[in-house]
Amino acid sequence: MCIDPKIRTLFMALLLVSGICGVRTVGAGEDAPSLARRGELIQLLERECGSCHGATLAGGMGPSLLPEILSERDTEGIINVILDGRPGTAMPPWRPFLSEGEARWLATRLQAKDPE
């Protein structure tokens, strides 16, 4: 495919500027996960979180994580539970495997009524 060099330059410049100025897409944090990593996170949610919260996250040994339950909650609180677990319960800390940006992305996704 052939792109007009002028348009390409403009596009590159825009990319550069957005990078420097930290232009964000809605819902993404400082270290928002890449597209490939998002795929891994969705798998983690379904497989590993699903082993306690149910594969559809509707609840199992752990409570339901569906938007009906979580959408009105404080996002920071959800991020904290994900990263540090709930001591004294079966909810383990995921900090060794998730960055704060990734936990934020997961929390936002869990709260969204209609993710993607």
Partner 1 sequence: MIPHPRGAIWLLLLLLTTCAAPRGTGDLGLVIERSRGSVLIIEHSSDSVLHRIAGLGDLSHASVVYSRDGLYGYVFGRDGGLSKVDLLRGKLDKRIKQAGNSIGGAISQDGRLIAVSNYEPGGVRIFRASDLSSVVDLPAIDATGRPSRVVGLVDAPGQRFVFSLMDADEIWVVDASAPQEPTVTKFTGVGRQPYDALITPDGRHYVAGLFGEDGLVHLDLWNLDLGTKRILSGYGRGKRKLPVYKMPHLEGWAIAGEQAFLPAVGAHELLVVDTRTWQETGRVALLGQPVFAMAEPGGRHIWVNFAFPDNDRIQVVDSQSQQVVQDLAPGKGVLHMEFTPRGEKVWVSLRDEDRVEILRTSDFSRIGSLRAAQPSGIFFTVRSALIGL
Residues forming the site for ligand HEC (CB under 6 A): 44, 48-49, 51-53, 61-63, 65, 69, 78, 81-82, 86, 89-92, 94, 106
Q: Is 101 in the site for partner 1 (CB under 8 A)?
A: no
Q: DSSP assignment, residue 32? A: P
The span from the CA of 63 to the CA of 65, in Å, is: 6
- Residues 6+ positions from 67 with CB-CB distance below 8 Å: 110, 111, 112, 113
The binder of 9, among ligand HEC, partner 1, none, by C-beta within 5 to 8 A per type, is: none
The binder of 65, among partner 1, ligand HEC, none, by C-beta within 5 to 8 A per type, is: ligand HEC
- Residues 6+ positions from 89 with CB-CB distance below 8 Å: none
- Residues 6+ positions from 10 with CB-CB distance below 8 Å: none
The span from the CA of 70 to the CA of 95, in Å, is: 20
Looking at the Cβ atoms of 11 and 97, the one nearer to partner 1 is 97
> Helix (H, G, I), strand (E, B), or coil: what is residue 95?
coil
The binder of 57, among partner 1, ligand HEC, none, by C-beta within 5 to 8 A per type, is: none
Which stretch in 9-17, 26-34, 55-63, 98-106 sits in contact with partner 1 by CB under 8 A? 55-63
Binding partner 1 (rule: CB under 8 A), the pick from 45, 58, 66, 69 is: 58
Which residues, 23 to 52, sit near partner 1 by CB under 8 A? 47-48, 50-52
